[in-house]
Copies of this chain bind each other. A is one copy, B any other.
Amino acid sequence: MVADRPGEFDLIREFFAPLAKDPGSLGLTDDAAVLTVRAGHDLVLTKDMLAADIHFFSQDPPEAIAAKALRVNLSDLAAKGAKPRGYMMGLALPSDWSPDWLEGFCAGLADDQKAYGFDLLGGDTIRSFGGLLVSITALGEVPCGKAVRRSGAQPGDLLFVTGTIGDAAAGLQLRFDPAFGQDRTLSAADEQYLRDRYLLPRPRTTLAPLLLEYANAAMDISDGLIADCGHLASASEVDIVLDLDKVPVSHAIAKINANSQDDFLRCVDGGDDYEILTCVSEANAEQFSKHATAVGCPLTLIGRVDQGTGIVTVTKKGTPIHMDELGGFRHF
């Protein structure tokens, strides 16, 4: 977080230095951060960039933009079984930024640093000729050789997912089309719930230690449940059978399903869920579920892993349905 013009030093001192509590950040006064990885641990690194009006709306509260930028990265760390350790932040600020806005943004970072137990290590701030852009590299630690991969699913594994699926996609659709809710008999409370689920991902960090212990493969769901089942199946060189009837949904998404299967499928495969998809052996499944319940992480069995070559079969009432038979199924 080294300045390339005087204004940046003020930014660092006033806004960013209070976020850099890890001694490795060197107080953001040096060219680089220095990190001692815990003995016996590997470092897990992930990078997600978020840009205004692509990944969030410019007018979203700055606290929420900051939280989302951290949490999409924390979700990746959680899926690998990693404990958050720190992050590097690149920030391209549009010329119309205000101290109030940046104060809110940094308050959002500070809250999540506290909630998830990690700190800013360093970074860079530049001007943006476009809108705001936040580029986070998040770092986590896992015991050596234990990072949970997409590629470890085994035939016979059971397929689990956390939380509920489709909320964020519906929440995004409500941002684009405020009439979407009325047309589908959603209550004001439903709409608020869905909008909030889009605005603020809840990374499943509490599941990370259980994934380390029990999972053969895991990933977070960002592209859409069905698409991400495909990515996992393909990386693991297995087939996946996904039971659509078992996919856990909120009250609001259930209403949408009752109204239109097409809309339901668009939500379910809409992405931005930041829930975790994981494959666990049948022998481990009961212990895994029990411990997930104990840490307050809702978990649902939604399918199984078969021998194969990366094909996903979606079933409904026990019968396979082909994606091209899903009627108007396409993303919003």
Contacts and interface: CB of A to CB of B under 8 A. Distances in A.
Given A34-B42, A34-B44, A45-B137, 11 more contacts: A32-B44, A32-B46, A34-B147, A37-B42, A45-B122, A47-B89, A49-B90, A49-B135, A52-B129, A54-B129, A130-B130
A284 interface: no
B130 A54 contact: no
A17 to B, nearest CB: 13
Q: Specify how many copies of this chain sit in the oligomer.
A: 2
B31 A45 contact: no
Interface stretch (A60-68, A74-82, A163-171, A248-256): A74-82
Interface string A1-34: 1111100000000000000000000100111111
A222 interface: yes
A47 B44 CA distance: 17
11 contacts: A4-B222, A30-B219, A34-B45, A36-B43, A37-B43, A45-B122, A47-B137, A54-B126, A92-B133, A124-B135, A129-B130
Contacts of A89: 47
Contact of A51 (B35, B53, B92, B149): B92
Contact of A131 (B45, B77, B122, B129): B129
A-B CB proximity, top 5 nearest: A130-B130, A135-B135, A32-B46, A137-B137, A31-B76
Contacts of A150: 29-31
Nearest to A150: B30
